[in-house]
Amino acid sequence: MNGIAAIEGSGTQRVLVLHGWALDSNVWLDTRALVDDTRFTYAYFDFPGYGSNRSVPPAEGMEGMAASALAAADSLGWDHFNILGHSMGGAAALRVATLAPDRVSAVVALTPVSPQGTPLDEATYDSFKSAWEDPGPVLKGLAPHLTTEQLDTIVGNTRATMNQSVWEAYLANWTKADFFKTLKNCSAPVSLAYGDSDPFVTAQYLSDTAALLREGTLLGIDKAGHYPMIETPRETAQLWESAFIQAAKGESNV
């Protein structure tokens, strides 16, 4: 299994799509009907242990996650592609771009966790770990614009597409990421997007990452928290497609 849950579109601009910690590729459902499928081809990837890739053991660390994403691109015969990633998947997108800079045309990372890792004190780490029992409050705190229906859907899909051991394995993966110094290897333009209501991934949190990238740009998303593709799907899809289009033209996305 290559972990590709779905391939949609017929465009020449290819986009490998990486999900975050709490949900598999279903996290993109609200935007899949909104994208330009004549300009782009989207491949929605599930990390090992999630969704369509659930039978495979979790990837080991951010290195294993990036390797699995690259293997998926290889299986599609994609020599060159853009990467769209969310949260944990946003960091994995950056790692792919540093490992294979000659293959990645552009990166859009939505509310990405840090390539330096995110050290949490013991109490906070334990609260994230135990949130498997009831992810709702944590997710609502990170994404205050989620409706009750949206939150219930995320929680239901979390239960249906992964198990507790996967939840715990990937918590360790994203909190212990450690590839910050390799960002200089990334030659592609990178858009780091954050929701203006996200208490976790803020402009300040992302500033070190943006500063080390050759072409790093911070982009704010109004009326969104940690899940902008669900909270403001149309605006968020327009943001990333605009970034990819401008990158293909060699233009700045500032």
Task: Answer yes or no: is 240 within a domain.
Answer: yes
DSSP for 114-134, written as a single string: PTT-----HHHHHHHHHGGG-
Asked if residue 109 is part of any domain, the answer here is yes
Rounded-to-integer distance, Cα 37 and Cα 41, Å: 6
Considering the domain boundaries, does residue 15 fall inside one?
yes
Say what the alpha-carbon torsion angle 105, 174, 130, 167 is, to the nearest 10 degrees: 60
What is the b/e burial string over 227-253, where b = at least 16 CB atoms within 10 angstroms of the residue's CB? Answer: bbbbbbbeebbebbbebbbbbeeeeeb
- Let me know if residue 182 belongs to a domain: yes
Percentage of the chain exceeding pLDDT 90: 96
Does pLDDT of 12 surpass 70?
yes
The residue range of the domain holding 65 is 4-249
pLDDT digits (tens, 9 = 90+) for 71-117: 999 999 999 999 999 999 999 999 999 999 999 999 999 999 999 99
Three-state secondary structure along 50-62?
CHHHCCCCCCCHH
Average pLDDT for 130-137: 95
Domain for residue 254, yes or no?
no
pLDDT score, position 143: 97
Q: Please report the sign of the dihedral spanned by the C-alpha atoms of residue 111, residue 233, residue 4, residue 22.
A: positive
Q: Which DSSP letter does residue 45 get?
A: E
CATH classification at residue 50: 3.40.50.1820
The pLDDT, as a whole number, for residue 254 is 40
What does the pLDDT look like over 167-218, one tens digit per residue? 999 999 999 999 999 999 999 999 999 999 999 999 999 999 999 999 999 9
Q: Is residue 128 situated within a structural domain?
A: yes
Q: What is the count of structural domains for the chain?
A: 1
pLDDT digits (tens, 9 = 90+) for 225-241: 999 999 999 999 999 99
